[in-house]
């Protein structure tokens, strides 16, 4: 299918051929008929992409600080690689979509195949959208009119925050698409509206809708006009829908308002606020978040958990419904806002218009009315030369299928397996875009959104799983049933039942190698530590300090059902590392978490885990999310027979009291990812034992899950 993608590195916009997504639980699969280009937002994104690195840095100073902190801890080269990997990933554009439902996912309520719906889907021939971000379109509303629903809902949410009442005076600053829809909605509320802009054509439309206007190009005094408009009292509210870095719109809004007036920022403006402006009038100021309550809430948007109407009357979806009702009743008009129409195949011309000097307003993209089978193809041949020859015989080149193509996969895993000499057969992703990017960047032969096709492909010898944690166990079992070798990113599973199921499945496929991406045991400095300890013998004491960094409690990794929590999702690395260095089974553990305190959200990411090993060794892991990011993330200390080893962030290894060894420093951080991938590939090629014994994988999995449960 055709989809519009934009490069954050260059700003280039392309109409790419992307695999069609599959329907998911709680989602709708929609064939697009019409989308609306959000000129302000999409022009800003294109402009950001076209800017130099210096320009990008100036636009996002908070990201610059993160980069500087990472350079201090991880070094320059890994940091710049991470930055460029992020900028390389294509950005799907668009969020105003109208189409027809093709498929309905499990647990979807209120929608059926064939329904005409509006959603925040992308500019693509087929989209998959959560049901809470979709709304049925009334028969009396055309596709072109419905395409303005999401834009109008953004303005409507700003109005709801301003809480206007019948007869109040409201100023709308910035008369783009959102501003003009806001003007109409305010008038439908019974408000008197004053529109302010520099564009005479937009001012004429606002006047046509019933507003009074101020043309700033004529040098008119907007504050004086607002005072006169409000009969000298000051306006009741100002809604800013402009997009500018200037502080002037907010300052101007404060000057226009009456005492205890309200200011709502819907667009973008500088926020160097004057205390005097707000103090003297006791003004209220609020920033509006997109199109309503539920936005950016995973429970609402992804899992379909609606807010009770008795407590949250207007959600994103219910705002969509309100806008569509207004369009159906002709109290809001969208047809006069359309300035251009383009077919999706010629969308690049639309973006040339967006970034050019020619005037434009509502730019609509249209899609084929009756697409053939091609737009719904879920696998795309990337037209790369096929690699032939033996793959499964010992010594042959192995062929990989990759499931999941997120940041870690594209930044670390795929380059590691490519360096190991594996044939990159196919890459699967849920939405198709990240898989297409990975496929083109690293030379995969095909990309797909059909995971089952990876398991069914007879040319795939091994499957690499790099998806969210809740899918790992099922995908591992499916790959084993298909007779594939499996490399899965940690964790292996989220429950002991899943671990037992994997063990049972592997027993039926015992000649298949199953490996978890516990890369730290393969790091060159860790290998050196292991060799030094082997020469000494006797029990050791290990102290592993992990400055994990804070992650919001609502992040998916903190969700027990999806990510398993941070102990299961990440601390398993360090349990495995100490298990490897002790070279002895874990016989007991203790786990303690930070105590509760007022205002502190309790998660399992501020904890200590103490391990006892069969050979008498002792290990303590300090996994802490309450440190500072400028401090190194990982530090390992080993105490053994009157000697000490200290490993700082996988860059500096120092020995104290070790005859013949003082230090082993690297010019860049090396956590063993390449060596880990190479060991997996080599074991398959040579037919040797697995790089990590299965009993150790299961042991670490069980201890990790038990520690996580104890902390909770």
Helix axes 316-328, 149-162, angle to 10 degrees: 110
| Residues in the chain, pLDDT under 70 | 44-78, 80-87, 370-375, 383-396, 596-603
In sequence order, what DSSP letters do the residues of 278-325 get, joined into one string? HHHHT-EEEE--TTSTTTT-HHHHTT--PPPTTT-S--HHHHHHHHHH
Q: 150-287 with 390-517: one CATH topology? A: yes
Nearest Cα to 119, choosing from 141, 102, 136, 134? 134
Write out the H or E segment, with its range, that includes residue 488.
strand 485-488
DSSP letter at 268 equals B
Domain boundaries, the chain: 2-148+334-366, 150-287, 390-517, 520-711
**Contact predicate 313/307, CB 8 Å:** no
Give the Cβ contact number of residue 110 at 10 Å.
11
Token pair for 647: 């490993």
The 8 Å CB, 24+ separation contacts for 214-220 are none
Write out the H or E segment, with its range, that includes residue 511.
none
Nearest Cα to 487, choosing from 673, 347, 360, 707? 673
In sequence order, what DSSP letters do the residues of 204-250 get, joined into one string? HHHHHTT-EEEEGGGT--HHHHHHHHTTTS-EEEEEE--B-S-SHHH
Which residues, at least 6 apart from 427, have a Cβ–Cβ distance to it below 8 Å? 401, 402, 405, 414, 435, 438, 439, 444, 446, 447, 448
Alpha carbon distance 610, 623 (integer Å): 11
The CATH number of the structural domain formed by 150-287 is 3.40.50.720
DSSP H helices, 297-422, are: 298-301, 316-328, 347-355, 407-408, 414-419
The CATH number of the structural domain formed by 390-517 is 3.40.50.720
Alpha carbon distance 103, 26 (integer Å): 11
**Contact predicate 267/151, CB 8 Å:** no
520-711 is classed CATH 3.30.360.10: yes
Establish how many alpha carbons lie within 13 A of residue 458's alpha carbon, considering only the half-sphere containing its beta carbon.
2
Would you put residue 152 in left (φ > 0), alpha (ψ -120 to 50) or beta?
A: alpha
**Contact predicate 653/646, CB 8 Å:** yes
pLDDT tens, residue by residue, 217-246: 888 899 999 999 999 999 999 999 998 889
pLDDT at 386: 44
> Under DSSP, is residue 336 helix (H, G, I), strand (E, B) or coil?
helix
pLDDT at 125: 95
Chain length of the chain = 712
Nearest Cα to 3, choosing from 99, 117, 101, 92? 92
pLDDT at 80: 66
> Under DSSP, is residue 689 helix (H, G, I), strand (E, B) or coil?
coil
Alpha carbon distance 300, 294 (integer Å): 6
Alpha carbon distance 337, 211 (integer Å): 16
Alpha carbon distance 565, 125 (integer Å): 36
Token pair for 213: 């206007």
Pick 2-148+334-366's CATH classification: 3.10.100.10, 1.10.10.10, 3.30.360.10, 3.90.180.10: 3.90.180.10
Alpha carbon distance 98, 32 (integer Å): 6
Which residues, at least 6 apart from 267, have a Cβ–Cβ distance to it below 8 Å? 40, 174, 178, 240, 241, 242, 243, 244
pLDDT at 156: 97
Alpha carbon distance 708, 703 (integer Å): 9
> Under DSSP, is residue 338 helix (H, G, I), strand (E, B) or coil?
strand
Alpha carbon distance 40, 95 (integer Å): 12
DSSP letter at 557 equals G
């Amino acid at each position: 299918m055709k989809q519009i993608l934009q490069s954050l590195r260059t700003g280039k916009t392309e109409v790419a051929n992307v695999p069609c997504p599959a329907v998911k639980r709680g989602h709708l699969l929609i064939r697009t008929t019409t989308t609306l280009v959000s000129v302000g937002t999409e022009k800003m994104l294109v402009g950001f992409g076209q800017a130099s690195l210096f320009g990008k840095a100036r636009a996002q100073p908070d990201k610059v600080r993160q980069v500087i902190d990472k350079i201090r801890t991880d070094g320059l080269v890994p940091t710049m690689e991470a930055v460029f990997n992020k900028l390389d990933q294509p950005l799907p554009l668009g969020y105003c979509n109208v189409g027809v439902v093709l498929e309905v996912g499990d647990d979807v309520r209120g929608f059926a195949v064939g329904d005409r719906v509006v959603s925040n889907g992308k500019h693509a021939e087929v989209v998959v959208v959560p049901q809470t971000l979709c709304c049925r379109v009334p028969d009396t509303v055309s596709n072109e009119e419905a395409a303005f629903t999401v834009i109008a809902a953004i303005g409507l949410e700003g109005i709801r925050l301003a809480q206007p009442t019948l007869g109040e005076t409201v100023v709308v600053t910035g008369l783009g698409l959102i501003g003009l829809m806001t003007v109409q909605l305010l008038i439908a509320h019974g408000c008197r509206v004053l529109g302010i802009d520099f564009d005479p054509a937009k001012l004429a439309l606002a006047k046509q809708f019933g507003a009074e206007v101020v043309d700033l190009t004529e040098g008119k005094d907007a504050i004086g006009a607002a005072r006169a408009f409000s009969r000298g009292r000051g306006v009741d509210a100002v809604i800013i829908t402009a997009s500018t870095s200037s502080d002037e719109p907010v300052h101007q809004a404060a000057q226009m308002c009456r005492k205890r007036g309200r200011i709502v920022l819907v667009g973008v403006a500088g926020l160097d606020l004057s205390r005097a402006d707000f103090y003297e009038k006791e003004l209220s100021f609020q920033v509006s978040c997109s199109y309503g309550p539920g936005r950016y809430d995973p429970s609402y948007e992804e899992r379909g958990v609606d807010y009770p109407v008795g407590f949250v009357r207007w959600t994103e979806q219910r705002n969509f419904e309100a806008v569509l009702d207004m369009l159906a009743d002709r109290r809001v008009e969208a047809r006069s806002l359309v300035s251009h129409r383009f077919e999706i195949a010629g969308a690049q011309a639309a973006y040339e218009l967006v970034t050019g000097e020619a005037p434009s307003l509502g730019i609509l993209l249209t899609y084929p009315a009756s697409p053939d089978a091609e737009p719904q193809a879920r696998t795309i041949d990337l037209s790369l030369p096929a690699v032939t020859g033996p793959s499964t015989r010992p010594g042959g080149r192995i062929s990989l299928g990759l499931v999941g193509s997120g940041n870690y996969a594209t930044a670390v895993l795929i380059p590691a397996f490519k360096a190991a000499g594996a044939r990159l057969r196919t890459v699967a992703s849920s939405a198709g875009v990240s898989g297409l990017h990975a496929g083109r960047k690293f030379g995969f032969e095909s990309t797909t959104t059909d995971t089952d096709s990876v398991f069914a492909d007879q040319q795939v010898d091994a499957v690499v799983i790099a998806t969210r944690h809740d899918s790992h166990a099922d995908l591992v079992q499916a790959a084993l049933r298909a007779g594939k070798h499996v490399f899965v990113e940690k964790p292996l599973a989220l429950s002991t039942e899943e671990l037992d199921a994997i063990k049972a499945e592997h027993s039926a496929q015992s000649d298949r190698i199953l490996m978890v991406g516990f890369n730290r045991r393969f790091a060159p400095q860790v290998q050196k530590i292991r060799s030094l300890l082997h020469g000494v013998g006797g029990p050791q004491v290990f102290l592993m300090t992990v400055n994990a960094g804070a992650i919001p409690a609502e992040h998916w990794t903190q969700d027990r059902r999806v990510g398993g929590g941070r102990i299961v999702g990440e601390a398993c690395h360090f349990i495995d590392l100490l298990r490897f260095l002790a070279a002895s089974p874990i016989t007991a553990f203790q786990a303690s978490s930070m105590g509760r305190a007022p205002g502190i959200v309790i998660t399992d990411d501020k904890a200590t885990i103490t391990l006892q090993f069969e050979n008498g060794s002792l290990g303590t892991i300090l996994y802490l999310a309450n440190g500072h990011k400028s401090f190194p993330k990982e530090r390992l200390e080993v105490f053994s027979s009157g000697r000490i080893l200290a490993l700082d962030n996988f860059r500096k290894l120092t020995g104290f009291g070790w005859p013949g060894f003082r230090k082993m420093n690297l010019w860049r951080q090396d956590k063993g990812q390449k060596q880990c991938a190479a060991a997996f590939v080599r074991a398959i090629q040579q037919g040797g034992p697995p790089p990590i014994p299965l009993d150790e994988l299961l042991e670490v999995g069980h201890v990790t899950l038990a520690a996580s449960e104890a902390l909770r």
